[in-house]
Chains A and B, each alone.
Chain A
Amino acid sequence: MSKIMTDEMTPKERMSAALGGKPVDRILCAPLILNHASRALGMKVRDFCTSGRNMGEANIACYRKYHPDLVFIFSTTSTVAEAMGTVMKFPEDDAPQVLEPVVKNREDAKKLHPVDPRKDGRLPIYLEALKRCVEEIGDEVFIIPVFGAPFTTAAALRGTEDFIKDLYRDPVLVHDLLKVSLESCLNFIDACADEGGVPVAVDPIATGSIISEKHFREFVLPYLNEIYARIKSKGLPGVLHICGKIKRIIAAMAESGATILSVDDIDMEEAKRLVGDRVCLMGNLKPAEVMFKGTPEIVDTAARECVARAYDSPGGFILASGCEIPINTPPENILAMMDAARKYGRIPISPESWQ
Chain B
Amino acid sequence: MSYEKRQYFPEERRNEMGRQKEEVLNDLALAVIMMDEEKARVVAQEALQIGIDAYEAIMEGLTKGMEVVNEKYEQEEYFVPEVLICSDAMYAGLEVLRPHLKAESVTSPVRIVIGVVEGDTHDIGKNLVRMMLEAAGFEMYDLGRDVSLPGFVEKAREVKAEMICMSTLMTTTMDGMKRVIDLLKEEGLREGLKVMIGGGPISQAFADTIGADGYAGNAAAAVRRARELLAKEVRA
A residues bordering B, Cβ < 8 Å? 89, 91, 93-95, 97-99, 160-161, 164-165, 167-169, 208-212, 215, 244, 248, 287-289, 292-293, 326-328
Contact = CB atoms under 8 A, between A and B. Distances in A.
B110 interface: no
B78 to A, nearest CB: 8
Contacts of B120: 97
Given A94-B172, A97-B121, A212-B79, A292 B201 contact: yes
Nearest to A324: B171
Interface of B: 35, 76, 78-82, 84-85, 88, 119-124, 127, 170-174, 200-203, 205-206, 209
Nearest to B173: A94
B72 to A, nearest CB: 11
Contact of B174 (A94, A248, A288): A288
A175 to B, nearest CB: 15
B33 to A, nearest CB: 14
A314 B122 CA distance: 37
B205 A289 contact: yes
Interface of B, helix, strand, loop or mixed by DSSP? loop
A164 B84 contact: yes
8 contacts: A91-B119, A94-B119, A165-B81, A244-B200, A288-B206, A289-B201, A326-B201, A328-B172
Given A167-B81, A212-B78, 4 more contacts: A99-B121, A165-B84, A292-B171, A293-B206
Nearest to B78: A212
A289 B201 CA distance: 7
Contacts of B202: 288
B203 to A, nearest CB: 5
Nearest to A210: B80
Interface centre among B88, B123, B170, B174 (most CB of A within 10 A): B170
Contacts of B127: 161
A165 B200 CA distance: 21
Residue with the greatest number of chain A CB neighbours at <10 A, chosen from B80, B123, B171: B171
A288 B119 contact: no
Output the residue of A160, A165, A167, A288 with the most chain B CB within 10 A. Answer: A288
Contacts of A328: 171-172
Given A91-B119, A292-B201, A215 B81 contact: yes
A167 B80 CA distance: 11
A288 B173 CA distance: 12
Contact of B171 (A167, A209, A244, A288): A288
Among A99, A212, A215, A327, chain B packs the most CB atoms within 10 A around the CB of A212
Given A289-B206, A293-B206, A210 B201 contact: no
A326 B172 contact: yes
A72 B195 CA distance: 38
Contacts of A293: 205-206, 209
A212 B77 CA distance: 8
A94 B78 CA distance: 33
Nearest to A216: B79
Given A97-B121, A287-B171, A288-B171, A161 B84 contact: yes
Contact of A94 (B81, B82, B170): B170
A160 B35 contact: no
- Which A-B residue pairs are the 7 nearest by beta carbons? A288-B201, A326-B171, A164-B81, A210-B80, A212-B79, A97-B121, A94-B172
Contacts of A164: 80-81, 84
Contacts of B173: 94
Contacts of A161: 84, 123-124, 127
Contacts of B85: 165, 168-169
Contacts of B209: 293
Contact of B79 (A98, A211, A287, A289): A211
Nearest to B204: A289
Nearest to A168: B85
Contacts of A208: 76, 79
A85 B120 CA distance: 21
A248 B79 CA distance: 11
A161 B85 CA distance: 10
Contacts of A244: 200
A215 B79 contact: yes
B145 to A, nearest CB: 10
A331 B120 CA distance: 24
A328 B119 CA distance: 15
Nearest to B199: A288
A293 B80 CA distance: 28
Contacts of A94: 119, 170, 172-173
Contacts of B172: 93-95, 326-328
